Amino acid sequence: MMTPAFNSRPRWHLWVLLAAALTAADQVIKHFVIATMPLQSSIPVTPWFNWVHVLNTGAAFSFLANEDGWQRYFFSGLGMLVSAGLMYWLWRGLQSRLETAACIALTGGAMGNVVDRIRLGAVVDFLDFHWKDWHWPAFNLADVFVVSGAALFILASRERTPPDQTES
């Protein structure tokens, strides 16, 4: 017996709830960081990891962080636009479980950072990995979701079979 083909549309509401749950998980941790740690503080956890409380007004790697504030609105709008587009794809009906998971992760992560930008004007970062004096830029759970979603899209693109190339 053949399994029915996957389609994201029938469970679209579930995918929206999962993306919202990822956003909420990110926000709960950020609220904890804000409530328990002074800004710019750091707690060493291992020789290669610190729990920190920093704000990033820019994008990845603090890109555009030194601008005069327009980036807050630009990145908020971009995050909302991309999230709406991803949710639309899910509603239209994706045929791939990996692409569905990618859309959920990307939306959850993007919206986690959008909430920060709207509420605080900057993104709360709390994960600081380092080796000796070299530190990877601090990031957060929403960033992990975005990178994971992008990786899932890459995996999904490698899974596709090329169209049949039969000659006429």
Q: State yes or no: pLDDT of 37 exceeds 70.
A: yes
Predicted local distance difference test score (pLDDT) of residue 11 = 92
Per annotation, catalytic residue among 26, 116, 128, 143: 143
CB-based burial label for 47 (10 Å; 0-12, 13-18, 19+): exposed
This prediction's pTM: 0.86
- Residue 164 is a catalytic residue: no
Distances (CA, A) of 167 to 80, 95, 130, 163, 164: 44, 27, 55, 12, 9
Q: Catalytic residue among 116, 125, 128, 133, which?
A: 125
Q: Is 68 a catalytic residue?
A: no
CA neighbor of 108 nearest in space, from 90, 126, 93, 92: 90
What is the pLDDT confidence band of residue 65, given thresholds at 50, 70 and 90?
A: low
135-166 pLDDT tens trace: 889 999 999 999 999 999 999 998 765 555 55
CA distance 109 to 159: 24
Q: Which two tokens stand for residue 138?
A: 């601090």
| pLDDT tens sequence across 106-126 | 999 999 999 999 999 999 999
The residue-averaged pLDDT of 24-29 equals: 98
Cβ-count burial of 37 within 10 angstroms (0-12 exposed, 13-18 middle, 19+ buried)? middle
Q: How far apart are CA 139 and CA 75, in angstroms?
A: 16
